[in-house]
Structure 1
Amino acid sequence: MASNSSHSSSARELELQKEVKRHVVALDELSCLSSSRSVYQKKGNLFFLSTAKKVKIDAEKQLDHAKSELAKIRSQV
Protein backbone atom coordinates (compact mmCIF):
# COMPACT_ATOMS: atom_id res chain seq x y z
CA MET A 1 0.00 0.00 0.00
CA ALA A 2 2.84 2.40 0.79
CA SER A 3 4.44 1.78 -2.59
CA ASN A 4 1.18 2.72 -4.31
CA SER A 5 1.05 6.10 -2.53
CA SER A 6 4.72 6.75 -3.28
CA HIS A 7 4.07 5.88 -6.93
CA SER A 8 1.19 8.35 -7.11
CA SER A 9 3.23 11.08 -5.39
CA SER A 10 6.13 10.54 -7.79
CA ALA A 11 3.70 10.69 -10.72
CA ARG A 12 2.25 13.92 -9.31
CA GLU A 13 5.78 15.27 -8.81
CA LEU A 14 6.63 14.55 -12.45
CA GLU A 15 3.40 16.21 -13.57
CA LEU A 16 4.20 19.30 -11.47
CA GLN A 17 7.75 19.47 -12.86
CA LYS A 18 6.32 19.52 -16.38
CA GLU A 19 3.81 22.20 -15.35
CA VAL A 20 6.61 24.35 -13.89
CA LYS A 21 8.58 24.05 -17.14
CA ARG A 22 5.50 25.04 -19.18
CA HIS A 23 4.96 28.13 -17.03
CA VAL A 24 8.63 29.12 -17.25
CA VAL A 25 8.50 28.88 -21.05
CA ALA A 26 5.24 30.86 -21.14
CA LEU A 27 6.77 33.58 -18.96
CA ASP A 28 9.84 33.75 -21.21
CA GLU A 29 7.62 34.10 -24.27
CA LEU A 30 5.47 36.76 -22.61
CA SER A 31 8.49 38.75 -21.47
CA CYS A 32 9.50 39.15 -25.13
CA LEU A 33 6.24 40.99 -25.85
CA SER A 34 5.35 44.57 -24.93
CA SER A 35 3.15 44.73 -21.85
CA SER A 36 0.27 46.33 -23.78
CA ARG A 37 0.28 43.71 -26.54
CA SER A 38 -2.96 41.77 -26.91
CA VAL A 39 -2.69 38.01 -26.43
CA TYR A 40 -5.12 35.17 -25.98
CA GLN A 41 -5.41 33.46 -22.60
CA LYS A 42 -7.02 30.05 -22.20
CA LYS A 43 -9.56 29.78 -19.40
CA GLY A 44 -11.28 26.41 -19.33
CA ASN A 45 -12.10 25.49 -22.91
CA LEU A 46 -12.30 29.09 -24.14
CA PHE A 47 -9.74 31.69 -25.16
CA PHE A 48 -10.10 35.31 -24.08
CA LEU A 49 -8.29 38.37 -25.37
CA SER A 50 -6.15 40.05 -22.71
CA THR A 51 -2.95 42.06 -22.37
CA ALA A 52 0.44 40.39 -22.10
CA LYS A 53 0.94 42.06 -18.70
CA LYS A 54 -2.21 40.50 -17.23
CA VAL A 55 -1.43 37.08 -18.67
CA LYS A 56 2.13 37.28 -17.36
CA ILE A 57 0.89 38.08 -13.84
CA ASP A 58 -1.50 35.12 -13.99
CA ALA A 59 1.26 32.82 -15.28
CA GLU A 60 3.54 33.93 -12.41
CA LYS A 61 0.81 33.07 -9.89
CA GLN A 62 0.32 29.66 -11.47
CA LEU A 63 4.08 29.06 -11.45
CA ASP A 64 4.32 29.98 -7.77
CA HIS A 65 1.43 27.66 -6.96
CA ALA A 66 2.97 24.76 -8.89
CA LYS A 67 6.33 25.32 -7.18
CA SER A 68 4.72 25.33 -3.73
CA GLU A 69 2.84 22.10 -4.50
CA LEU A 70 6.08 20.54 -5.72
CA ALA A 71 7.85 21.64 -2.53
CA LYS A 72 5.09 20.06 -0.41
CA ILE A 73 5.43 16.73 -2.21
CA ARG A 74 9.22 16.76 -1.92
CA SER A 75 9.06 17.55 1.80
CA GLN A 76 6.79 14.54 2.42
CA VAL A 77 9.22 12.10 0.81
Structure 2
Amino acid sequence: MSSRSSSSSARELELQKDVKRHEVALDELSCLSSSRSVYQRNGNLFFLTAAKKAKIDAEKQLDHAKSELAKIRSQTR
Protein backbone atom coordinates (compact mmCIF):
# COMPACT_ATOMS: atom_id res chain seq x y z
CA MET A 1 0.00 0.00 0.00
CA SER A 2 2.90 2.39 0.69
CA SER A 3 4.26 1.91 -2.84
CA ARG A 4 0.87 2.89 -4.20
CA SER A 5 0.78 6.06 -2.07
CA SER A 6 4.33 6.97 -3.06
CA SER A 7 3.57 6.48 -6.75
CA SER A 8 0.40 8.56 -6.48
CA SER A 9 2.27 11.30 -4.62
CA ALA A 10 4.98 11.27 -7.30
CA ARG A 11 2.27 11.53 -9.98
CA GLU A 12 0.59 14.31 -8.00
CA LEU A 13 3.86 16.24 -7.84
CA GLU A 14 4.37 15.76 -11.58
CA LEU A 15 0.85 17.02 -12.28
CA GLN A 16 1.36 20.04 -10.02
CA LYS A 17 4.44 20.93 -12.08
CA ASP A 18 2.44 20.48 -15.29
CA VAL A 19 -0.33 22.76 -13.99
CA LYS A 20 2.21 25.45 -13.09
CA ARG A 21 3.93 25.09 -16.48
CA HIS A 22 0.63 25.46 -18.35
CA GLU A 23 -0.39 28.46 -16.22
CA VAL A 24 2.89 30.20 -17.07
CA ALA A 25 2.46 29.38 -20.77
CA LEU A 26 -1.07 30.84 -20.71
CA ASP A 27 0.19 34.02 -19.04
CA GLU A 28 2.92 34.38 -21.65
CA LEU A 29 0.51 33.75 -24.53
CA SER A 30 -1.98 36.23 -23.09
CA CYS A 31 0.63 38.98 -23.46
CA LEU A 32 0.86 38.42 -27.22
CA SER A 33 -1.57 39.60 -29.86
CA SER A 34 -3.82 36.79 -31.06
CA SER A 35 -2.54 37.09 -34.63
CA ARG A 36 1.11 36.68 -33.66
CA SER A 37 2.83 33.44 -34.67
CA VAL A 38 4.51 31.27 -32.05
CA TYR A 39 6.21 27.90 -32.05
CA GLN A 40 4.24 25.10 -30.44
CA ARG A 41 5.71 21.75 -29.48
CA ASN A 42 4.08 18.65 -30.91
CA GLY A 43 6.00 15.56 -29.83
CA ASN A 44 9.67 16.22 -30.49
CA LEU A 45 9.01 18.84 -33.18
CA PHE A 46 8.05 22.51 -33.07
CA PHE A 47 5.49 23.95 -35.48
CA LEU A 48 4.62 27.56 -36.22
CA THR A 49 1.04 28.39 -35.22
CA ALA A 50 -1.10 31.38 -34.21
CA ALA A 51 -0.85 32.49 -30.58
CA LYS A 52 -4.63 32.16 -30.28
CA LYS A 53 -4.52 28.46 -31.24
CA ALA A 54 -1.55 27.83 -28.92
CA LYS A 55 -3.46 29.49 -26.07
CA ILE A 56 -6.53 27.31 -26.69
CA ASP A 57 -4.35 24.19 -26.69
CA ALA A 58 -2.60 25.30 -23.49
CA GLU A 59 -5.99 25.85 -21.82
CA LYS A 60 -7.08 22.32 -22.79
CA GLN A 61 -3.86 20.85 -21.43
CA LEU A 62 -4.25 22.85 -18.20
CA ASP A 63 -7.84 21.65 -17.75
CA HIS A 64 -6.76 18.06 -18.34
CA ALA A 65 -3.88 18.29 -15.85
CA LYS A 66 -6.17 19.87 -13.24
CA SER A 67 -8.79 17.14 -13.67
CA GLU A 68 -6.16 14.41 -13.35
CA LEU A 69 -4.79 16.11 -10.23
CA ALA A 70 -8.28 16.33 -8.72
CA LYS A 71 -8.86 12.65 -9.52
CA ILE A 72 -5.65 11.61 -7.74
CA ARG A 73 -6.41 13.80 -4.74
CA SER A 74 -9.91 12.36 -4.41
CA GLN A 75 -8.54 8.79 -4.49
CA THR A 76 -6.00 9.43 -1.73
CA ARG A 77 -8.50 10.97 0.65
One fold, TM greater than 0.5?
Answer: yes
Deviant stretches of 4+, over 3 Å = none
Describe the SS at the equivalent of 2:49: strand
Structure 1: where are the runs of 5+ without partners?
none
1:47 equivalent to 2:39? Answer no
CA distance in 2, matches of 1:13, 1:28: 23
| Displacement of 1:43 | 0.2
Q: Who is 1:64 aligned against? A: 63
1:1-77 pair list within 5 angstroms: 2-77=1-76
State the shift of 1:49 in Å: 0.3
TM-score (norm 2): 0.98
Indicate the percent of aligned positions where both proteins have the same amino acid.
84
User: Structure 2 regions of 5+ residues with no counterpart?
Assistant: none
Partner amino acid for 1:46? L
Give, in whole Å, the separation in 2 of the partners of 1:43 and 1:54: 13
Instruction: Note the aligned Cα RMSD (angstroms).
Output: 0.2
CA distance in 2, matches of 1:45, 1:74: 30
